[in-house]
């Protein structure tokens, strides 16, 4: 059962402050976070427990690896043992927990955060295990304190250096902003290298200590010191350098390539020098490379972040992308071949050749996490081979990682994150090398740097992605099975002959979180990007900017069955008119959706984090492989995923001007374009009638979505052409007419000026003097139904709602049903997550067979029952009545009976879910549109 945070908090509080604990605390904790009781029972009984030692350990796939020990001094070391256990990769538990039933230590394997508490204080860290609910909490509580402190301190340093070097930054010819960005990436490397033994095993504070001992306190010579140091780090022969520079090692690589990449070093004052030392005093060994993304986001300004779509991606959101794309499959292969050494070695070789490409890589977060997760699988394979004595003795001494940074590719348009991406991948590699040494006792030195990530600074919308990471078939050979182990461990066998067998593609995974940007928010360069990439798609101007990445991804994948992509996007890309524009192209080019995370709220660990609703979509060449839909932590296996991220055929619902079914037309209400002069409140209505009773003839009830849902009484000035002179005789109405005339004349738009010739009337009149059905354009996604109703004759519907004139009650029944709501949610557009109703995409496309008279009569009766139930609660607004937490029981019952009646129009067997409803709706839509084509 899915629980809200308050419910979880209440549940966990009941587990705190006990005198003693035993194994039951694990099962109670799982229940407190809403895990299924049946699964907990099976875990307790042992059928779901995958642990080798079931007396002390509990291991459930994807959930938890729990171990009880009696020696409290070994809690942390035991947790490290669990972390290195191959079963962690094999079964991918979310949390690792070790306890002596007095203290508890734990790791969140997805966020890489840790917990160390007294067990009786479990209620103080409710958010740590919140991932068990299927939701995520991302805030300062779930971040390492060191990460946040480092981000804040680096921002403070950056700001101080900006102020002290303002003149150089203001010079457009100097390109000093770029120099400053490169400088900061070098500085970050130095901080990290100092605290993680990259610079020296013996001298702990070699970098900050040298600054403190060899530079003036006023900072005046710090730029000279750093320039010399960077030269020393880029020089293998230290004979020309004196102390302290001669003590620093040769780094190689691109970071300190001062000959090819000479930069201007900023000037420093005393405060800037102090801040550098303060930063150096932090423990950078505790800081995750992926936090650098948060650092740069906090430095760049809000305008730049919005323009380029820099929404730093948290680890849980990255995992939603890379796990279903390829990590889950690799883990399944490891599990499948756990006891087969030759196939484990083959899997190791496969992983070593995988290429990962992020064409909007930002500060490299996706690449970093992908690299680290692949290294974890590699370590698990090696550990399994060692435990099983499956490696030859001589080969054990040559153990090393075969996953190279050379196989990680990226494109980034902004300078600073581009530099940070390169740096962060080096640091991620070093972190995993340290883990390798802890686990296998062999040191892998980071420097001199021998492999380099291929991160390109440029506009991914304009670059040919094949020029960055080539995805073209090439001739491959297969070495003998006997040579595979040697090759991976590092032996050379020049006599080994390879037979060229065929042309084959590399295994490439394209990932990322590209810029979003609706069509109205694009700058001139982005609009040009759209035209260059999407220009051959008619109506491309209605697409979001991210459509560029989807199209280029499909083109890049081409015919390859070994290249797949997973992209995070705003959910608008699978709604409304964008579906037919973009996904028609993707499906027509023989590509398909291989997995999808349905809409979820975006969260990340940067302050002021981006408030958007997103989806994750995986695409690849057409295949018979299983597809998966994810929603709220639940994974559903399906045969096919359509463009609306539902199971079913790939039929695309095409917008249309007239209804597909035999129902009356729907249109917008009337649009005033009056600067508010013709719309009046209830109080103003009363004042007008009190002063001029004759004005009543020209005032009509005026209802839009807000008025209808919230019970707001409003009126509109409504003057027919025949009554103009009479209306002008009433002073208050004449004044309003004059105000509208002046406002329209002042407009810069020619069409609005033209309307000044008829200042007494609405700009767009669709009102008919008959009763009508009203449908709000936007409604809360929390509501089970969009409230609709039939309004009496004489009511003007505003353009904030739709109107259907002369609609019969049975149609209200259809539109107020779960069946119709399933269609709305699947094919309609949304504002954030709010439902957006549409004539061309939703109403006109809704499939409904011709109804028999007795069916209309039953629907009419059920619809009236809904209206009668509302009348029983007339003291409430419709917004209140349709709040799912407060919906009156008789209204809920009336809707449920209506749902049964509508469902029976499509099949006699009751539906278990909206997924089943959609399957029938899409099938009927396909049938009706095909019939329509045949008639033509």
Q: Where are the domains of the chain?
A: 5-137, 149-287, 291-477+501-652, 667-935
What does the pLDDT average to over 702-706? 95
Instruction: List pLDDT tens digits, range 618-661.
Output: 999 999 889 999 987 788 899 999 999 988 889 899 999 999 99
Q: Is 174 left (phi over 0), alpha (psi -120 to 50) or beta?
A: alpha
- Distance (Å, rounded) from C-alpha 653 to C-alpha 825? 13
- Distance (Å, rounded) from C-alpha 621 to C-alpha 510? 13
* pLDDT above 60: residue 215: yes
Q: Is 385 left (phi over 0), alpha (psi -120 to 50) or beta?
A: alpha
What per-residue string of b and e applies to 544-569 under the rule 16 or more CB within 10 Å gives b? bbbbbbbbbbbbbbbebebbbbbbbb
Helical H segments across 281-414, by residue range: 291-299, 302-308, 315-322, 328-336, 341-353, 365-387, 393-396
Q: Is the peptide bond before 244 cis (omega within 30 degrees of 0)?
A: yes
| Cβ 509 vs Cβ 356: under 8 Å | yes
Share the mean pLDDT of the chain: 88
The pLDDT value given to residue 306? 43
The pLDDT value given to residue 446? 76
* pLDDT above 70: residue 286: yes
* CATH architecture label of 291-477+501-652: 3-Layer(aba) Sandwich (3.40)
Given pLDDT bands bounded at 50, 70 and 90, which one contains residue 736? very high
- Distance (Å, rounded) from C-alpha 720 to C-alpha 699? 11
Residue with tokens 């993304």: 293
- Distance (Å, rounded) from C-alpha 912 to C-alpha 910? 7
Given pLDDT bands bounded at 50, 70 and 90, which one contains residue 139? very low
| Cβ 753 vs Cβ 747: under 8 Å | yes
The pLDDT value given to residue 192? 87
- Dihedral sign, Cα of residue 9, residue 319, residue 310, residue 178: positive
849 three-state secondary structure? coil
Residue with tokens 């140091």: 229
Length of the chain: 936
- Distance (Å, rounded) from C-alpha 113 to C-alpha 605? 13
CA 348 from centre of chain: 30
The pLDDT value given to residue 303? 47
- Distance (Å, rounded) from C-alpha 182 to C-alpha 256? 9
- Distance (Å, rounded) from C-alpha 573 to C-alpha 550? 10
| Cβ 12 vs Cβ 122: under 8 Å | yes
Return the half-sphere exposure (C-beta side, CA atoms, 13 A cut-off) of residue 504.
11
780 three-state secondary structure? coil
What does the pLDDT average to over 324-349? 94
- Distance (Å, rounded) from C-alpha 350 to C-alpha 329? 12
| Cβ 238 vs Cβ 228: under 8 Å | no
509's CB contacts (< 8 A; 6+ apart) are: 322, 325, 326, 354, 355, 356, 357, 370, 563, 564, 565, 566
The pLDDT value given to residue 222? 96
| Cβ 613 vs Cβ 656: under 8 Å | no
């Amino acid at each position: 059962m899915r629980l809200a945070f308050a419910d979880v908090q209440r549940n966990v509080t009941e587990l705190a402050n006990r005198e003693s604990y035993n194994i039951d605390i694990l099962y109670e904790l799982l229940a407190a976070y809403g895990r299924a009781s049946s699964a907990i029972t099976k875990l307790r009984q042992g059928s779901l427990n995958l642990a080798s030692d079931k007396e002390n350990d509990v291991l459930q796939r994807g959930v938890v690896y729990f171990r009880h020990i009696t020696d409290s001094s070994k809690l942390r070391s035991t947790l490290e043992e669990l972390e290195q256990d191959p079963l962690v990769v094999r079964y991918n538990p979310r949390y690792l927990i070790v306890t002596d039933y007095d203290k508890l230590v734990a790791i969140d394997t997805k966020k890489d955060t840790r917990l160390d508490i007294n067990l009786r204080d479990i209620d103080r860290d409710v958010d740590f295990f919140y991932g068990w609910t299927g939701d995520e909490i991302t805030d300062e509580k779930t971040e390492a304190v060191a990460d946040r402190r480092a981000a804040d301190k680096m921002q403070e340093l950056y700001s101080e250096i900006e102020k002290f070097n303002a003149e150089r930054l203001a010079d457009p010819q100097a390109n000093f902003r770029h120099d400053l960005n490169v400088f900061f990436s070098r500085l970050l490397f130095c901080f990290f290298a100092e605290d993680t033994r990259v610079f020296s095993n013996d001298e702990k504070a070699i970098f900050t200590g040298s600054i403190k001992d060899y530079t003036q306190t006023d900072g005046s010579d710090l730029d000279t010191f750093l320039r010399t140091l960077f030269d020393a780090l880029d020089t293998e022969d230290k004979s020309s350098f004196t102390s302290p520079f001669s003590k620093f090692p040769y780094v190689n690589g691109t970071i300190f390539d001062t000959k090819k990449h000479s930069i201007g070093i900023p000037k420093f004052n005393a405060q800037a020098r102090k801040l550098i030392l303060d930063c150096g005093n932090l423990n950078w060994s505790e800081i995750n490379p992926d936090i650098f993304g948060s650092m740069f986001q906090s430095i760049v300004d809000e305008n730049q972040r919005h323009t380029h779509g820099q929404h730093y991606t948290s680890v849980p959101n990255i995992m939603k992308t890379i796990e279903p794309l390829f990590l889950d499959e690799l883990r399944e292969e490891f599990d499948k071949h756990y006891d087969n050494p030759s196939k484990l070695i083959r899997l190791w070789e496969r992983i070593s050749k995988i290429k990962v490409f992020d064409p909007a890589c930002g500060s490299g977060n996706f690449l970093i996490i992908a690299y680290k997760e692949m290294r974890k699988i590699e370590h698990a394979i090696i550990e399994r081979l060692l435990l099983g004595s499956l490696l030859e003795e001589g080969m054990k001494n040559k153990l090393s990682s075969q996953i190279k940074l050379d196989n990680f590719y990226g494109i980034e348009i902004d300078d600073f994150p581009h530099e940070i991406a390169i740096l962060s991948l080096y640091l991620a590699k070093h972190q995993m090398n340290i883990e390798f040494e802890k686990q296998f006792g062999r040191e892998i030195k980071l420097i001199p740097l021998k492999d380099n990530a291929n991160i390109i600074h440029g506009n991914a919308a304009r670059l040919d992605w094949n020029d960055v990471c080539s995805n073209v078939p090439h001739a491959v050979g297969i070495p003998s099975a006997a040579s595979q182990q040697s090759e991976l461990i590092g032996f050379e066998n020049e006599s080994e002959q390879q037979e060229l067998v065929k042309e084959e593609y590399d295994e490439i995974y394209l990932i990322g979180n590209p810029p979003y940007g609706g069509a109205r928010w694009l700058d001139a360069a982005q609009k040009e990007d759209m035209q260059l990439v999407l220009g051959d798609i008619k109506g491309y101007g209605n697409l979001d900017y991210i459509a560029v990445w989807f199209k280029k991804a499909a083109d890049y994948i081409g015919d390859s069955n070994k290249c797949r992509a997973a992209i995070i996007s705003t959910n608008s890309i699978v709604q409304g008119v964008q579906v037919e524009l973009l996904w028609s192209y993707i499906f027509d080019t023989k590509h398909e959706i291989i997995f999808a995370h349905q809409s979820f709220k975006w969260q990340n660990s940067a302050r002021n984090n981006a408030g958007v609703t997103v989806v994750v979509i995986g695409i690849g060449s057409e295949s018979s492989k299983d597809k998966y839909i994810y929603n709220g932590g639940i994974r559903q296996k399906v045969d096919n995923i359509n463009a609306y991220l539902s199971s079913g055929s790939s039929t695309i619902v095409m917008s249309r001007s007239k209804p597909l079914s035999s129902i009356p037309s729907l249109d917008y209400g009337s649009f005033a374009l009056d600067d508010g002069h013709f719309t009046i409140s209830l109080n103003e209505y009363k004042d007008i009638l009190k002063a001029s009773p004759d004005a009543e003839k020209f005032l009509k009830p005026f209802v839009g979505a807000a008025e209808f849902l919230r019970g707001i009484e409003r009126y509109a000035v409504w003057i027919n052409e025949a009554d103009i002179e009479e209306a002008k005789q009433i002073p208050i109405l004449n004044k309003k007419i004059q105000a509208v005339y002046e406002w329209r004349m002042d407009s810069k738009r020619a069409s609005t000026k033209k309307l000044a010739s008829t200042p007494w009337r609405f700009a767009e009149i669709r009102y008919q003097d008959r009763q009508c059905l009203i449908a709000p354009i936007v409604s809360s996604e929390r509501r089970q139904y969009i409230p609709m109703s039939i309004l009496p004759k004489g009511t003007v519907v505003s353009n904030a709602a739709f109107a259907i004139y002369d609609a019969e009650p049975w149609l209200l029944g259809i539109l107020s049903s779960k069946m119709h709501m399933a269609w709305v949610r699947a094919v309609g557009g949304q504002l954030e997550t709010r439902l957006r109703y549409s004539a061309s995409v939703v109403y006109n496309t809704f499939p409904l067979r011709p109804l028999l008279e007795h069916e209309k009569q039953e629907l009419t009766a059920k619809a009236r029952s809904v209206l009668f139930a509302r009348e029983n609660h007339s003291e409430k607004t419709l917004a209140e009545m349709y709040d799912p937490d407060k919906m009156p029981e008789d209204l809920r019952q009336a809707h449920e009976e209506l749902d049964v009646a509508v469902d029976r129009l499509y099949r006699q067997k009751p539906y278990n879910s909206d997924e089943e409803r959609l399957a029938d709706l899409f099938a009927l839509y396909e049938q009706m549109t095909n019939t329509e084509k045949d008639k033509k």
